[in-house]
C-alpha cells in the first residue's frame, strides 16, 4: 500500500471515529480525515463558530449562503439535519464532553500528554482560538502530526519546550510512522506504518516509549 504521509495519517485517524460521532476537525490536515471515513461510518462535524453538519465548500453550481461559514471563515454547505447556535452553546458542547473527538495538529507533544500547538515565542502571535477549550473538553484528543520537524528533529518529546495549549489531555498521536497511545505510564507504541521498524520510531522520538510485545499495523 503506497500512500503519501498525510494521507496515511488521515486514513488511520479516520478509523478512530464511530458511526454517528460528533467530531471537531482542526483547519488543514485534520479535514482530510473526511476523505477516508470507513464504509458505514457517518460522522457529524461540529465547528466551534456555532454549527453542526457542515459538509465543505459548495460544489460547482451549488448555491451557498454567505452566512454559513466554517471555523476558518470560509463559506460552507450545511447538510439536512444540521443546526446553528451561538458561540456559548458551541463551547458548552465542547467543554461539556458532548464532542466525541477533536483532531488537531501540533508543534510538540510529550510523554505526559501535554500539547503545544498555539505559540512559538518571538515567531507566531496568532492566538489560540478555540484550541485550548477543544483539547480540555473533547472526550478524545487525536493529534495528527509529522513525526519530526522539517530539519528531522523530534517533535514527540520528554517535555514540551513551547508554551502549552493544554496539559495531560492528548489521547493518541498519529504520525506517518506510528500511532502512539498515552497511558498513565507514558506513551505506548500501538501501531507501526508498513515498513517502519520499532528502532526507526525510537531513533526519531525523544520521549521514552513503552514498547508492548504485540504492535499493530496502521493500515
For the residues of 122-188, what is the DSSP string, one character each?
A: TT-----TTHHHHHHHSSEEEEE--SB-TTS-BSEESS--SPPSBSS---EEE-SSEEEEEETTEEE
Question: Contact between 55 and other proteins (CB under 8 A)?
Answer: no
Helix (H) / strand (E) containing 48: none
The single residue among 66, 81, 152, 195 that binds other proteins, judged by CB under 8 A, is 66
> Dihedral of the CA atoms 90, 91, 95, 101 (nearest 10)?
50
Tell me the site size for other proteins, rule CB under 8 A.
Answer: 42
Catalytic residue, chosen from 4, 18, 48, 176, is 48
CB of 47 to other proteins, least distance (A): 8
Which of the stretches 5-13, 42-50, 142-150, 188-196 binds other proteins when contact is defined by CB under 8 A?
Answer: 42-50
Question: Contact between 195 and other proteins (CB under 8 A)?
Answer: no
Question: Contact between 64 and other proteins (CB under 8 A)?
Answer: no
Which of the stretches 35-43, 125-133, 177-185, 208-216 binds other proteins when contact is defined by CB under 8 A?
Answer: 125-133
The single residue among 133, 146, 200, 206 that binds other proteins, judged by CB under 8 A, is 133
Q: How far apart are CA 144 and CA 136, in angstroms?
A: 17
Alpha-carbon distances, residue 110 vs 60, 79, 96, 105, 123 (angstroms): 43, 38, 25, 14, 21
Question: Contact between 65 and other proteins (CB under 8 A)?
Answer: yes
The single residue among 128, 148, 210, 215 that binds other proteins, judged by CB under 8 A, is 128
Q: How far apart are CA 147 and CA 149, in angstroms?
A: 7
Question: Contact between 114 and other proteins (CB under 8 A)?
Answer: yes
Q: Is 191 a catalytic residue?
A: no
Give catalytic residue positions: 48
Amino acid at each position: 500500500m503506497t500512500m503519501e504521509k498525510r494521507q496515511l495519517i488521515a486514513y488511520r485517524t479516520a478509523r478512530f471515529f464511530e458511526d454517528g460521532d460528533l467530531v471537531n476537525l482542526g483547519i488543514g490536515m485534520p479535514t482530510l480525515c473526511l476523505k477516508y471515513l470507513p464504509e458505514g461510518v457517518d460522522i457529524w462535524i461540529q465547528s466551534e463558530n456555532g454549527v453542526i453538519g457542515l459538509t465543505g465548500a459548495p460544489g460547482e453550481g451549488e448555491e451557498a449562503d454567505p452566512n454559513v461559514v466554517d471555523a476558518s471563515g470560509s463559506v460552507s454547505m450545511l447538510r439536512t439535519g444540521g443546526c446553528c447556535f451561538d458561540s456559548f452553546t458551541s463551547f458548552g458542547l465542547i467543554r461539556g464532553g458532548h464532542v466525541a473527538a477533536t483532531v488537531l495538529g501540533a508543534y510538540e507533544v510529550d510523554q505526559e500528554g501535554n500539547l503545544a500547538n498555539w505559540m512559538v515565542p518571538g515567531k507566531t502571535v496568532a492566538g489560540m482560538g478555540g484550541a485550548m477549550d477543544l483539547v480540555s473538553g473533547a472526550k478524545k484528543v487525536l493529534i495528527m502530526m509529522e513525526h519530526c520537524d522539517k530539519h528531522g528533529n523530534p517533535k514527540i518529546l520528554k517535555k514540551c519546550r513551547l508554551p502549552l495549549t493544554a496539559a495531560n489531555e492528548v489521547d493518541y498521536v498519529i504520525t506517518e510512522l506510528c500511532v502512539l497511545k498515552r497511558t498513565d505510564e507514558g506513551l505506548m507504541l500501538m501501531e507501526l506504518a508498513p515498513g517502519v521498524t520499532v528502532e526507526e520510531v525510537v531513533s526519531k522520538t525523544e520521549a521514552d516509549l513503552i514498547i508492548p510485545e504485540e504492535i499493530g499495523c496502521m493500515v
